[in-house]
Amino acid sequence: MSDTREWPCPDCGDAREFVQPPCADGHTDDGGDCPEWVCADCGTALLADPAPVAVTFAVRRAA
């Protein structure tokens, strides 16, 4: 199932389309929904449980 959401992206500073990456954490193994969404534009991740919360990747901020 491919689904998209439109949320304000903190990195893009504007509304962007978010998509769900393949879940690697087993959230969907028992039929649940993976809370992870990434901006289709810049790749910033949001956790949607229940409201979207920006996730700051240390690796993206380092350097």
List of residues contacting Zn ion (CB under 5 A): 9, 11-12, 16, 23, 25, 27, 34, 36, 39, 41-42, 44
**CB 56 to Zn ion: min, Å:** 13
For residue 50, is the peptide bond before it cis, meaning its omega torsion is within 30 degrees of 0? Answer: yes
State which residue, 13 or 58, has the beta carbon closest to Zn ion: 13
State which residue, 3 or 25, has the beta carbon closest to Zn ion: 25
**CB 39 to Zn ion: min, Å:** 3
**CB 38 to Zn ion: min, Å:** 9
Q: What are the contacts of 18-21 at 24+ separation with CB within 8 A?
A: 18/46, 18/52
CA within 13 Å, CB half, 45 = 15
CA dist 28 and 13 (Å) reads: 30
